[in-house]
Amino acid sequence: MKEPTGLETKGVDSQGRPAKAKHSRGRELYRLRRQEKLLRYAARLKLSGNLIDGERVSARTMKMRSKLQALKERIDELSELKQQQVNNSVGSIDWTGINQRATIDKISTIRYSSRQRDYKWLPTHVWHAKRAHMVKRWGFNVPYEPTMKCFRQTSRQSRIKGCVGFDTSYMNTVILKGDGVFVLIGELTNDEATGKKYHSKGRVWEGFLMLNGEHLCRSLIWWIKSGTECVLRFHPSVYDVLLDHLVNHAKNVEFEDCRYSLGSLTVTGPQSLWSLASVLHPSISSEAGSTFEKLAGLNEVSALPVGSTFSMFIDDPRLWPKPVRPTGKYADVLDLIIDVQNGKATDRSAIEALFSKEGRVASYHGQPSLKQLGQRRTPEFLGKPIPKLESDPQIPVVIVKTTQGLVLFAPWHWILPIWHQLVHVPHFSMGGTKQLNQLGFEKGELGFADCVFTRAGFLEGQLKMKELATKWSKRPKSKRFNISKLNEAGSPFGCDWRYLQLLWKYLGELPEVEDHSGTEFTELQERVVKTKRDVFEKIQDTIQKDETLAQLGKPVFAQLPIELYRGEHHRPSTEKLPLVAIQFSMLNRGHPHDNARIYKIPETEYSSWMDAANKKTIQGRTVALEKQCPGKEHLIGYVTSATFNLAQGKGTGVGFIASKAYDHLNFNKADFVLVRNVGSTACHLAQWKLVAVQ
Amino acid sequence: MEDYKLVKHAAPRKYSYNDSKTVIHVKSSTPFMSAVKRIDKTFGYYDSKYTKKGKPIPNENKNVGYITVRGMGKTILKVMNLALYFEHEQNRKVEVFTKTLTVLDELKSTNKDKDDVFQKRQVSCVELRIHFTKS
């Protein structure tokens, strides 16, 4: 910058333009803000005469110098008290909560502590924050979707070439130990995960956790020691509910909450095994390590059975300058895959080390910083791996094949070094939670937000609905679409399950012969359903009542309006609407979107719909149907997620329909339903299939 | 075998990024014409290309002489039809090879106390080599 000469006009630069107001930026600004905060603390101390921990001092009689001295001593004392012993130079520490919730101590997050007060960072946060949209959910800052457009890339890399990776460290892992674990897991999984297959043979169980008769979330259970110790991995949205249950109700169970001490990466796609193998270098020659290396060349699309597990100790991936192409011989792969199912690729000591606090702390012992590694990379090792020292740590890792892909578990502070190497593998791309959902939906599986029968999934839908409604209401009247003209079945902003529940309830009350003698009310001022019109009026009445309740601050959904249909033997509660999950694909035309409406084809129109659907023009293109959409009384469900599916070359989606409608469709052997997007008058034929929720 | 649910797995094959450009796997749900178009497009990729002024752009894929098409089980019929199509409609040189592949069958036990069973099964497979050169 030019030195001022003293001849400039005040407030104007040399060009005559008004000078920009000077203010501090970046680090300087941060330092000043911290200073201001500290001064405020000091001022409060002066006024009240209390030290931060509450001890009283007569501040008035003290001199400034002695005040500072007292503060300094106090800070030293407190910092010694708080500081845990760290066995490495980079401050990696294990934050396991033993029989209590895990918390992150200030020690290594002091730099950005104020930013992580409510939403903690994943190990790869800084990497992701530059490249992805982040959302604050479930106590974490989670990557939502990459900044670059990636719909096609994600789909193709997961099926044809390359692979897609996700940092899924936000998933919670709890290690359960003790004699009561068997009973507890039995309660949580309806005795499904306590079969011999799982607890003594070590197969991985994936399915829904149940608590108090409600579905919680999809989870993973892996028995480490038969009947006495297991790993439970679940979605962070149910963390509070599950931990409360563990703390207050579980008997004879000790648990280690590894929320902030075990991280995980998910990699999926044909190249996933190859990519992992080019980053993970087994540190000791063991059968497990060599099996993993031999399988590295395998094209991993449905070749490995779900539940295959690998575990081993690996070297610090940063010793290698870049990922190394796996060189293992590719032969007798089928025998190897079968051996993996029998536990040939698992190293017991690695499993025990990874799922114990001592093991993870040991893996941080002597963890070198990047600077130290840089000093060891002398010119003769340029482009080659740095020779390993005896002090270099061995890292326990576990890889499990799940329905989502290969999940790599590693100690929290080793996730970042592994991730940094992994992203340099050719044809690797990253994804966020949105991409995970996309991949699930392309396979016709239910993602997290699709599971509307779980409380977390239901609330997620409600939240999205609210957000869109507020966005809509904030637009000027001339710029927003007119909701009242749409005459939509339920809220146009999402899947209105409450509407569907009421519709099916009141349609059930409708007499076979409609009575047009006029509106009637019961003593409780409830409308009597006599005609179809009454049904819709009564729905409006109830929804208005709900809104008044909500305004009074009373919970409307203490009970969810819907539940998952669990077969005839399970008697559903009378209030809740039982739902069945379906997947559908458009028969010829139509591009379904999220929140589309599903109708059954009215019996009188069935044949005409079928005829019209099969008509073709000369070019072989199907004719756009100009058929009217069925009335609201034919509504059977909503689509939770749908869009054009690149794997199938047409629009597909997943959704839920009322179980009675499902019975009706099954009885009539009707393979088709109608799907209509929100705000559209065009209805399209779709072929549906049941989705087994397990 | 009522207690088991059969899960079929893909025939294990080696991962190679370059294979995605030269090897085409036909499955039973692939329509015949989409397989034809996909193969045609791959030929287009390896065709010699020219600049706007008519100068040839150097071809980096000189070593690739043919495109491999594979299908197994009930797709063999479709693959053979593809062979006939390219041989007679496009006058290309087509070689046909037969193979036997071993695939993995997973018998998932519906009984939680019984272990899953893994079996090997042999499937016949047909491989076509459709050459770039026309006869």
The pLDDT tens digits for A123-153 are 999 999 999 999 998 999 999 999 999 999 9
pLDDT recorded at residue B120: 92
Structure tokens at A71: 């503060």
**Chain A, chain B: beta-carbon pairs less than 8 Å apart:** 74
pLDDT recorded at residue A79: 63
DSSP string, A495-559: --HHHHHHHHHHHHHS-SS---S---B-TTS-B---SHHHHHHHHHHHHHHHHHHHHTT--S-SS
Between residues A394 and B64, the one the model is more confident about: A394
Tell me, what amino acid is at B49?
A: K
Mutate to test the interface with B, among A153, A158, A160, A161 (most CBs of B within 10 A): A161
pLDDT recorded at residue A618: 46
User: Is A194 in Cβ contact with B104 (below 8 Å)?
Assistant: no
User: Is B10 in Cβ contact with A302 (below 8 Å)?
Assistant: yes
Res A686 pLDDT > 70: yes
pLDDT recorded at residue A55: 63
pLDDT per position as a tens digit, A668-679: 778 888 898 888
- Is B113 an 8 Å CB contact of chain A? yes
Mean pLDDT of A39-43: 67
The percent of residues in chain A predicted with pLDDT above 70, rounded, is 88
pLDDT recorded at residue A84: 64
Angle CA A468–A474–A475, to nearest 5 = 95
- Is A297 an 8 Å CB contact of chain B? yes
pLDDT recorded at residue A589: 75
Q: Which of A381, A386, A318, A395 is nearest to A350 (CA)?
A: A395
Mean pLDDT of A342-365: 91
Mean pLDDT of A528-540: 79
CB neighbours of A679 closer than 8 A, spacing ≥ 6?
A: A481, A486, A488, A492
The sign one gets for the Cα dihedral A485, A486, A489, A490 is: negative
pLDDT per position as a tens digit, A93-117: 888 988 889 888 655 555 676 778 7
- Is A298 an 8 Å CB contact of chain B? yes
pLDDT per position as a tens digit, A245-277: 998 888 888 999 999 999 999 999 999 999 999
User: Is A426 in Cβ contact with B17 (below 8 Å)?
Assistant: yes
- CA pair distance A595, A637, nearest whole angstrom: 10
- Is A325 an 8 Å CB contact of chain B? no
- Is B100 an 8 Å CB contact of chain A? no
Place domain B4-12+19-45+65-134 in its CATH homologous superfamily.
Alba-like domain (3.30.110.20)
Q: Pick from A197, A271, A304: which is nearest to B116 by CB?
A: A197
pLDDT recorded at residue A149: 93
Res A517 pLDDT > 90: no
Between residues A181 and B58, the one the model is more confident about: A181
Between residues A377 and A330, the one the model is more confident about: A377
Mean pLDDT of A454-462: 89
Computed over every residue of chain A, the mean pLDDT equals 84
A683's enclosing H/E stretch is strand A683-690
pLDDT recorded at residue A47: 47
- Is A623 an 8 Å CB contact of chain B? no
pTM reported for the whole predicted model: 0.86
Res A566 pLDDT > 80: no
Res A547 pLDDT > 60: yes
pLDDT recorded at residue A6: 65
Indicate the range of A232-236, A280-284, A297-301 predicted with least confidence.
A297-301
pLDDT recorded at residue A115: 79
Query: How is chain B split into domains, by residue range?
Result: 4-12+19-45+65-134
- Is A273 an 8 Å CB contact of chain B? yes
Q: Are A305 and A338 in contact (CB under 8 A)?
A: no
- With both helix axes pointing from N to C terminus, report the angle between A151-159 and A433-442 in degrees, rounded to the nearest 10: 60
pLDDT category of residue A509 using cuts at 50, 70 and 90: confident
Res A573 pLDDT > 70: no
Q: Pick from B9, B15, B109: which is nearest to A274 by CB?
A: B15
pLDDT recorded at residue A57: 65
Q: Pick from B7, B15, B118: which is nearest to A298 by CB?
A: B15
User: Is B115 in Cβ contact with A192 (below 8 Å)?
Assistant: no
Indicate the range of A390-404, A489-503, B48-62 predicted with least confidence.
B48-62
User: Is A334 in Cβ contact with B15 (below 8 Å)?
Assistant: no
Cβ-based contacts of A298 with chain B (< 8 Å): 12-15
Cβ-based contacts of A161 with chain B (< 8 Å): 17, 20
Between residues A441 and A64, the one the model is more confident about: A441
Mean pLDDT of A448-455: 89
pLDDT recorded at residue B35: 93
Mean pLDDT of A471-482: 89
pLDDT category of residue B78 using cuts at 50, 70 and 90: very high
pLDDT recorded at residue A562: 81
